[in-house]
Chain A
Amino acid sequence: MRRRRSLADIAQPIVTVLALVLLLGVPFWLVISTAGKSQAEALNPNLAPPSQWQLFENLAQVFTEGRMALAFGGSLLVMIPAVFGVLILGSMAAWVLARRSSRGLAVVYALAISGIVLPPAVVTIVLLLRQLGLAGTPVGMIGVYMGMYLSTVIFFVTGFVRTIPQELEEAARVDGAGPVKVFVRIILPLLMPVLATATILICLYIWNDVFYALFAVGGRLDTLPLNLFQVASAGLYLQNWHLIFAYIILMSLPLLLVFAFAQRKIISGVTSGAVK
């Protein structure tokens, strides 16, 4: 028993390093080395290092050709209002849904969280956006994302509000605070941990979403994944693997930087709630 354990203790780091190299090292090295090659060398992407590194030239080229700055701005323009919107509207609704109980509200709650499981109707969303005159606009895209992720926020926050003692609200109410004041001053600050978790999840989804963006804004708004789709669709035809991978590097950098600085928070946020 003891001997076997010490064998496992030696094997574990070796297996870990092997897993890291094979499962992560190979794909990521492929990205970096190919992004550093010339077009001729990158024609058939392989693991050989570039004979001459031209990573920064490729990054610069893709930055301008992929309209990276515009796409970055477009991604932010859609993500920030959508995330703020779902957090505020979702917590307002969740507060009332958690504190009041009636058969009618139980139905409202069930419908409100159904979007966690049920897929959005992508095709008819386009029809609706056209009827509302919002097709291809940031507002339309924000609305679509809010409709998709409100369920998640309402679900998380309702559960969390139920753990906040009513007495905290009562105390403020005795001091003459109305519902808006109670919500803003007492409830919202207490919701911060669960809102942080929801923010991380929803930012991840929206930042990386391409499917719903393809339908809702098509080619009329630049976002990072949409432009990657365009760069790659054109690039694969022209065999421009060095540009595709350069784009992937630039596009992943913002989230990787955020992750590097806040990894502990992100990881604990993502796992909290999953296991009880």
Chain B
Amino acid sequence: MRYSRRGIVALGLAAALIALPACSSSANDDDGGSSGSGDTEVEVFSWWAGPGEKEGLDAMIADFTTKNSGIKFNNAAVAGGAGTNAKTVLATRLQAKNPPDSYQVHAGLELASDIEAGYVEDITYLYDQQGWKEKFPKGLVDAITVDGKIYSVPVNIHRSNLLWFNPATLQKAGISAPPKTWAEFLTQAATLKSKGITALSIGPGWTQEHLLENVLLGELGTDKYTGLWNGSTDWKSAEVTAALTTYTKILGFSDLKSAAADWQPALDKVVDGTAAYNVMGDWADGYLKGAKALKFKTGYDVVATPGSEGVYNFLSDSFTLPVGAPHKGAAEKWLVECGSTEGQDAFNPQKGSVPARTDADKSKYTDYLAAALAEWQNPATKIVGSLAHGVVANNAFKGEIDTALQIFVQDGNVAKFADAVAKAYDANK
């Protein structure tokens, strides 16, 4: 008798322990189960949670919900690290076959592994239906087409090859104009150093890669630069070696040793006048104009990085249609919003980027953005893609470059770096 009572108690407890987690998991499943017609909700995954980009996304969501009043917008933004945190969360969800209705991705080869894995739908039909192929510049459409198919809708265009400076600092140092070539930059840097000003401020690893791509672009020109990513330019050639040597010299004039923890504090040094230049993408404009309340041209100014005038080194945020999206109809409507003039004009002035469409409303873009838009829409502008922001290298190749560059920045061994990158290209193309 004693045994059986104890047994029953044990059995009961065991059953309760098993049932407990089972209950909670079934409760979790309930709120995502409205899969039937599925047009009451759309879940959009992005890393737009920081200042500027959040306002831009909100403006686009507002426009979306007025057009599609029946759809509840579920903003699944993951903050931090220029999207690195979001990408980790996303990879887990995609592998678990639990995709959002649409997710943000840098346009270009960053999407290659998702296409290969069959995670995203071919949405060329949306391009035909909306006539987008005529509305986006040809250089951009080519860059996002993979084997004749298009898998994402670009919302905005950022420019990577920009050199930011404070006109007052240059004046104080007796420098009349920013440099046109990296060689001229090095001469100016020596002058600046003698006056106790850091020539170039720099931030964490990815900003060093951002600098590298623009040194390579300025030193090699557009064709050879593009060749670095498709195998037609040899990483171990004399020209590339010379460009990489220039890069180490430029770093020698930077504040690499006490590098800032992020790009904003690196720009702060330019604002304060302790550093003269900073190479950063045009999201810097929103920061300087907004958070720092500076006036374009007088408080801060910008030119193309040395040797890259007339070139648009672009990166772009785009949205996709995942295979198995729970609310496909609503997701398509979201993509149409992303590609529309109203959507792009709502988002871009806030984010500090230019619209991918060439027929956008010019009056909404002022100061830096007006100049950038004019350049983007100019048919003579050459378009190349950014390395640090996922356009020209697939994730595996880029990951190996990231590591090799970190070692290179520390030991300055040009031959070893070129060799490592060339090997990584062969292994991951």
Q: Are A and B a genuine interacting pair, yes or no? A: no
Q: Which residues of A contact B (CB under 8 A)?
A: none
